[in-house]
């Protein structure tokens, strides 16, 4: 994979925020789909990390919205945030024990 510019990395991050696929990224960057796919399969590289940063920023924004609604008394959102927290705890416990 060729070296990406800062502008391309910023664009990739934005694509991650809205959930673009690796196939869509290949089209946007005009690079072979297999090159992008390989970074996604290995889960490393500048392209993948920029995309993941955007994806996680959206996840953070959504979880903050869920938390706010839960604090405001939304029972479904309280259940949702508890499910998210339990899933995270279970994942971390696998690492510890």
Q: What is the pLDDT of residues 26-50, one digit of tens each?
A: 999 999 999 999 999 999 999 999 9
Q: List, for residues 39-97, the tens digit of each pLDDT value.
A: 999 999 999 999 999 999 999 999 999 999 999 999 999 999 999 999 999 999 989 87
pLDDT at 1 over 90: no
**In this structure, what token pair is assigned to residue 21?**
């696929």
**In this structure, what token pair is assigned to residue 44?**
């490393």
Q: pLDDT at position 5, please?
A: 94
Q: pTM of the predicted model, to two decimals?
A: 0.85
Q: pLDDT at position 69, please?
A: 97
pLDDT at 2 over 90: no
Query: Are the CB atoms for 4 and 47 separated by under 8 Å?
Result: yes
Q: At what angle do helices 33-42 and 46-71 cross, to 10 degrees?
A: 60
Quick one: which of 14, 13, 12, 34 has its CA closest to 23?
Answer: 34
């Amino acid at each position: 994979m060729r070296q990406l510019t800062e502008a391309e990395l910023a664009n990739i991050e934005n694509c991650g925020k809205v959930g673009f696929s690796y196939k869509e990224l290949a089209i946007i960057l005009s690079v072979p789909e297999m090159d992008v796919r390989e970074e996604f399969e290995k889960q490393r590289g500048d392209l993948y990390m920029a995309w993941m940063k955007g994806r996680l920023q959206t996840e953070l924004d959504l979880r903050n919205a869920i938390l706010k609604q839960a604090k405001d008394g939304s029972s479904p959102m309280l259940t949702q945030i508890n499910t998210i927290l339990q899933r995270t705890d279970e994942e971390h416990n696998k690492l510890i024990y």
